[in-house]
Structure 1
Amino acid sequence: MPSPASQKAAQLVAILAKNGYARVEPPILQPAAAFIDVSGEDLRRRMFLTADAEGNELCLRPDLTIPTARQHIEAGRPEAEAAYCYLGPVFRHREQGGGEFLQAGMEIFGRKDREAADAEILARSAEALEFYGVEGIELRLGDRALFNAFIDALEIPAPWRRRLVRDVARQGGLGRDLASLAPSPVGNGDHTAFLAALDGADPKAAKAVVEDMLSIAGISQVGGRTAGDIAERFLEQARLRASASLPEPTHEALTAFLTIESDPVTAIGEIRALLVEARLSGAISASDDRELRQALDSFEKRNEEMAERGLDVAGMSFATSFGRQLDYYTGLTFEFRVPRLKGMGALIGGGRYDNLLQTLGAAAPVPAVGCAIFVERIEEAAA
């Protein structure tokens, strides 16, 4: 007999189905590579893995977004517009709770009007929480496209760009890395010249130099890492150190951007004002900010779409440094939480991921946005 929690969730999904979201039930057993290739090796340790008779690595699905996307692609027209909803168990190791838990959700694929689709997912998510009677909800937003466009316009060195993207995705380390990028005097007595030389060398030759140094020192392995692994890590640090210390106008603009946190309407005004200042200081060239202007226009249009759907835009919290841990987001990111319930994760979380379907096998990028609805947490928050 279904539990009360699953019965309530089934009612929610039935409502979504009546509103045009086709119900799907992807297989529980999935190719592991589909998740690891998209989300990285960090996910592997949280997955339940097995293999088929031919030795192909399989897993119990750790979420339902990727299985739904794969099913959409297999239907033969990945570029076609479609909306889906689902409800079923997912499986992954968690710090708290069992490895199997119930997840609902919805996805919109192929809709060209991205901002309207973003607003629809947010509105449907708010309706789901209202259906459960959850009170005291906070909606927090981020925008990966805006973040990427701004740091691209600032011409942040590639190693630090990757580092900052990772900081935002993991929600940690941003303050430390901003401090590392602060302007500093040249010739501070450290190994900067050596690191810069390594950074400019042929990668294979640089790695060989570091491995030779380790060999001379008698180091073959440290903490399970080989000399080759240690050399790779050292060279990564060399690239970061050699490209650290941004020009003062660039560092000021980056810091100002990454500390913006307010409601979305106020935020768009602050970012546009910052863009003017960054142009005047020379941190951003007017000829290099086309993508940034497009991202800002899209942000503003999404605000309008959210307001038209009756969402309280002024009551939302937007932060330029807010992100979610999945690497595939390309635009909007969001989470619904209940601040009074300290330590509880997102009740609903999701965002835009326009490159995911191509990564999974579609011939070209497909507009896509969706969310996961964490049934257990919502039941607890509503109690």
Structure 2
Amino acid sequence: MSAGQDNETFLRKLEAAGYRARDPAILQPASVFLDLSGEDMRGRLLLTSDGAREYCLRPEFTIPLSLAYLASPEAGEPAALCACGPVFRLGAGAKPEFIQAGLENFGRADREAADAEILALALETAGPGPWRVRMGDASLVSALLEKLELPAVWLRRIHAGLAKGQALGEIFNPRRDHSDHSGVLAALDGADKAGARALVEDLLKIADISALGGRTANEIAERFLEQAELRSSAGLDAAKRGLLEQFFAISGQPDQASAQLRALFAAAQLDLTVEMNAFDQRLNFLAARGIDLNTLEYSAGFARNLDYYTGFVFEASKGGDPVIGGGRYDRLLSTLGAKEDIPAVGAAIWMERL
């Protein structure tokens, strides 16, 4: 069977499940991916320019299908879209072009049921297992961090570290910067934040640097300020750090993990009832879709390396690299132009890894 026939087979399966096929343009405005994707994706874009605007070859389907949804008469209402075709990313030792299928579900208020549908449909479409499915919950992590009232610099560091797959020790004990720019960091220690940001941006402009590694001058300035704040920080409160270490150590069968999470939050006198009820409801919907919960692996520290995920996240592999990956991204649509947040969840299937 040819690649084109494979693509059509996948699309027919998804269309039979109620997902309408779209074919987003291969050439996409680069700014949206530079602004909204994680560092890993930004560094792998294939970029070009017409002299006035910067473009990239589409690196994935979530953002293009989200833009197609917002441009449709159904924007704000429940809708399901899918696509299958080539996507383009640079990567060490990997082809820059490969085939991917994407399925995205928009506008559904029954979030946990939609989460279960996306994972179950992706597994059904990709074919029989055995699958190893890992899952996490970015909304539960965010709710816990908010309850602990951590400084903003630590919120950013923890979220970024999880997305990069860093060990907790590396996240909680940042290495002091002894590189050539440590003098700049020392100069920024304790400085007025607005003035310090302006100073760094001015230095970059003097050096004629508008972007570096996919980051804008403002983002580079923010990174310098964050590193300066970490240099002068006394570190995390010991009690809060201990609680986070216990939380991120929880992993295993999801029902058992749920019991451990509830016990931890109760002992710490933290009210995360709403988030835990949603967690358990999602498990019920997954079971109702025929997924054996004993085959799933929950990890409190599991995250995916795209900045727009806000809730349920997952990856499914079959003996090697991930074949399926996805999650919930409720705030992405408002960032792309919607008047308010719109519930959304989706998945990608790497066709050539099947």
Q: TM-score range by the shorter chain?
A: 0.7 to 0.9
Q: What's the counterpart of residue 352 of structure 1? A: 328
2:312 corresponds, among 316, 327, 332, to 332
CA distance, structure 2, for counterparts of residue 368 and residue 210 of structure 1 = 37
Structure-2 residue corresponding to 1:50: 48
The residue type paired with residue 84 of structure 2 is L
1:71 pairs with 68, 74, 84, which one?
A: 68
Q: Distance in 1 between matches of 2:304 and 2:106?
A: 20
2: CA distance between counterparts of 1:264 and 1:13? 31
Change (3 A) 1:230 1:306: closer
Q: Deviations over 1:291-321 (max 9, x none)?
A: x322111111101111111111122001010
In the alignment, which residue of structure 1 is the partner of 2:283? 303
Question: What is aligned with 1:60?
Answer: 57
Partner Cα distance (1:168, 1:64) in 2: 23
Could you say which structure has the larger radius of gyration? 1
Q: 1:209 to 1:377 in 2, by over 3 A?
A: closer
1:46 aligned counterpart, secondary structure: coil
CA distance in 2, matches of 1:333, 1:229: 26
Instruction: Tell me by how many angstroms 1:154 deviates.
Output: 1.4
Distance in 1, Cα, partners of 2:317 & 2:346: 17
- Is the 8 Å Cα contact of residues 49 and 57 (structure 1) preserved in structure 2? yes
Map of 1:268 onto structure 2? 258
Which residue of structure 2 lines up, in the alignment, with residue 156 of structure 1?
150
Aligned pair partner of 2:80 in 76, 80, 83: 83
- Inter-CA distance 253–15: structure 2 relative to 1 (3 Å threshold): same
Q: For structure 2, which runs of at least 5 residues remain unmatched after alignment? A: 176-184, 213-217
Using the TM superposition, give the Cα deviation of residue 199 of structure 1 relative to its aligned residue in structure 2, in angstroms: 5.4
Q: Return the alpha-carbon distance in structure 2 between the equivalents of residues 229 and 91 of structure 1.
A: 25
Q: Does 1:10 pair with 2:4?
A: no
CA distance in 1, matches of 2:118, 2:142: 22
Q: 3-state SS of the aligned residue for 2:340?
A: coil
Per the alignment, residue 191 of structure 1 pairs with: none
Alignment partner of 1:37: what SS?
helix
Change (3 A) 1:301 1:233: closer
| 1:136 and 2:134 aligned | no
Distance 2:197 2:91 in 1: 37
Contact kept in structure 2, 1:90 and 1:100, CA below 8 Å: yes
Identity of aligned residues (%): 45
1:77 deviates by: 3.8
Rounded to whole Å, the distance in 1 between the matches of 2:226 and 2:260 is 35
Change (3 A) 1:23 1:209: closer
Give the partner amino acid of 2:238.
E
Q: Residue type matched to 2:334 in 1?
A: Q
Structure 1 length normalisation: TM-score?
0.79
Name the CA distance, whole Å, in 2 between partners of 1:210 and 1:107. 40
Amino acid at match of 2:142: N
Q: How many residue pairs end up in the alignment?
A: 334
The alignment's TM-score, normalised by the length of structure 2, stands at 0.85
Measure the CA separation in 1 of the matches of 2:299 and 2:41: 26
Aligned partners of 1:210 and 1:81: how far apart in 2? 45
In structure 2, relative to structure 1, the CA distance for the partners of 1:205 and 1:10 (3 Å cut) is closer
* Residues 269, 244 of structure 1: alpha-carbon distance in 2 compared, 3 angstrom cutoff: farther
Structure-2 separation of matches of 1:358 and 1:31:
17
**Contact in 2 for aligned 1:102/1:375 (Cα 8 Å):** yes
